[in-house]
Structure formats: C-alpha cells, structure tokens
Amino acid sequence: MEELDNDLSDKRYIAWVALSLLITLALGAYLRWHMADFVALFTPWGNLHHVHIHLGYYGVIFPMMWLSWRAVGADMLNTTTLKLYALCVVTSSFGFLFQGYGLVAIVGSTGILIIWLMSAYRLQRWSGLKGSWLSGIPAAILLSACCIPPIAISGGAERLLWLRCFLTLLLIGGAIPTACLIDGLVRPKWGGVWIVLTTFAALSVGPLDNQIMQLAFVGLGGTIMLASPKGFSANAAMWQITGISLIVIGLSEMSHPIAIAGTHYLLLGPVLCAMLRGVLKEEPLWLEWGYLCALLIFTAAIAAPVLLPSLERPAFITALSGSVVVVAWLLRGWIAMISKRDQLGNTA
C-alpha cells in the first residue's frame, strides 16, 4: 500500500484532474457562446458536446470520487490501473472529438467502464461501507453499466432517455452521496433507501418516463434538506438549494432544459465544491457567495425556456453567467495555489 499512498499524493494525478476540469469548463463556455451566436464551431457540435459530457465524468468526477473515498479510508485503484484509466480517458476524448460516438470512443469508454466496475468492487469490500453515505454507490455504478447497451444500440429520443437514466444513477447515486460524506452531512437512519429512491428517479426520467416514480426526487431532496449543514453560510445555502431543487424536479414535468440545469447545478455546486473543500478552505467569503450567485443565475438561465419563457436573450445570459462560473474556478485555483505556496514557505 506504500506505492498507492505515494501515487495519490503525486502532483501528476491532481494535475490531470485539474486539466480535465479546465478543458471541460472551457468547452462548456465555448458551446454556450456558440448557442448565443457569438462564435463558430471548429468541429461538429455533437463531437464537442460528447467530449464536454464524457470528460467531465471520466476525467473529473470519478477521479475526485476515488480521492474522496480514500480520504475516509476506502481502498483505491493501484498505480498501473490509474495509468491505464488515464490512457482510456485520453483515447475516448480524442475519439469523441474527431469521430463522435465511433469505434475509438467506444473502445476507450469500455476500458473506463471496466475500471469503474473494479472501483465499485473494491468499495463494496470496504469494511466501513455499512451505514455510510457510500453504501449504495457500488450498486449505482453497476446499474449505470446496465444502461450502456441500450444507449449504444438505440437512437434519437430513446437514447436520450437511457442517457438520462445513466447520468442520474452516476450523479445522484454516486457523486452526491460522496459529496455528502466529504462535507459532513449527517446520514439519516433511513439513508439506506437512497439507492432505491435514486433508481426510481433515474427510471422515471429515463426509459419509463413516469411522473409518479419521479416523486422519488422529492424523497431525495427532503433527505438532503434534513441532512444539510445548519447556520448561515454559502455552503449551507448551497445544500439547502440542492434539496429544494430535487424536490422541484420531482414535482415538475421533466423537460430537457430542467434536466440540463439540474445536472449543471449539482455538478458545479455541491459535488465539485465538496470534493475540493480541502483546497477551497482558504478562499474569501465574497468568492463563496459570488460563485453561488453566478451558478444560480447560470442554471436559472438554462431552465429559462421552461421557467421564464418571456426572458429575452436567455442564451446570452447563460453564456455570460457560465463564463463567470469558469472565471470563478480559475480564481479559486489561483487562490488555492497561492495558499499552498504560503504554507510551504512557512514550513520551510
């Protein structure tokens, strides 16, 4: 295990995750400015969109989840597997960029899926899993893997539904519980039903497209609100808004803008902020609140066609506020590096 510890403290691992995050954010902003008719695309929309989505999950969310699991004592993938995973991420990203959903991207994604399942198996064997927020994650990863064949063989609206199911399982079944654990949210006694509610929620916005089952989001949101940090802080507000958002999704008719807005808020809000909490702890309060406000404007603008149909130029507002979110992350990274440098200087 000594090699494993050295590997996880290796700056190259963090650098790869940071680079993946930067590319994902930059691509997202680029696509939003294209939707606002300000820039042209250098390659087909679908290819760039594939890279944006997949790199976010492949290169950012899962590597950060693995680091978070290890932080609480769970086992982790070894050096060789992590290097193979990085190769698969690079392969699939270039495949999506130049060929779209073609052979190269499929080969790379298959390797990634196998390693995801390996990590789920290791987590399932962890002695501290019972009673933890992480208890349902292995099942969520396995269930998401079951969505891959339908995604591969279907097309059009049917593929979109299966993709929603897949992403919901990974986001709410995997990333959100990890963020809850890292941020210290108290898991309620009924926390074991989280994976059950997540499965119903994923199916409701996916292949079953059932509004009754969609009420599972209400249960998920209520759980988050009860477990959220108390007091007045940007972090507490972010988690309360997360709970409210899930409840609203459960009570609303699902649409593409609502799904996209909810996904972006959850990923850019509680998931990334919690998993990077150790890095962001030195940032000023104005940046915490400013980031939350920019994120809320950004996601509200995405959902504007449904929530605010009379709003003028929503695509421009989305692109502008999204760019502010990207700049905020750059600023957060810069502050974190300055803080780390000062710490090293003080201990020298």
Residue 290 near residue 238 (C-beta atoms within 8 A): no
Cα dihedral 85→183→135→59 (10° resolution)? -10
Residue 1, pLDDT score: 33
Residue 245, pLDDT score: 93
- Give the chain's mean pLDDT: 89
Residue 135, pLDDT score: 92
Where would I find the H helices in the chain?
Answer: 2-8, 11-35, 45-55, 62-71, 79-99, 103-124, 137-145, 148-153, 156-170, 176-182, 194-205, 216-227, 234-251, 256-266, 272-275, 277-280, 285-302, 304-307, 314-347
Q: Give the pLDDT confidence of 4-52 residue by residue, as tens digits.
A: 333 445 678 888 999 999 999 999 999 999 999 999 999 999 999 999 9
**CB environment 181-220: b (16+ within 10 A), e (fewer):** bbbebebeeebeebbebbbbbbbbbbbeeeeebbbbbbbb
Q: Give the pLDDT confidence of 293-340 residue by residue, as tens digits.
A: 999 999 999 999 888 888 888 899 999 999 999 999 999 988 888 877
Percent of residues, the chain, with pLDDT higher than 90: 63
Residue 94 near residue 207 (C-beta atoms within 8 A): no
pLDDT, average across residues 173-182: 95
- Angstrom distance (rounded) from CA 280 to CA 268: 14
pLDDT, average across residues 166-176: 95
Residue 27, pLDDT score: 96
In the block, residue with structure tokens 């963020």: 179
Nearest to 238 by CA among 198, 284, 280, 274: 274
Residue 347, pLDDT score: 61
Q: What is the pTM of this model?
A: 0.90
CA distances from 135 to 77, 78, 121 (A): 18, 22, 12
* Cβ-based neighbours of 156, under 8 Å, separated by 6 or more: none
- Angstrom distance (rounded) from CA 143 to CA 295: 30
* Cβ-based neighbours of 218, under 8 Å, separated by 6 or more: 246, 247, 250, 251
| Per-residue pLDDT band at 231 (split at 50, 70, 90) | confident
DSSP assignment string, 219-247: HHHHHHHHHSPPSSSHHHHHHHHHHHHHH
Q: Give the pLDDT confidence of 100-140 residue by residue, as tens digits.
A: 888 999 999 999 999 999 999 999 998 888 889 999 999 99
> φ and ψ at 76, to 5 degrees?
-135, 160
Res 283 pLDDT > 90: no
Where would I find the H helices in 183-215?
Answer: 194-205
Residue 343, pLDDT score: 66
| Per-residue pLDDT band at 2 (split at 50, 70, 90) | very low
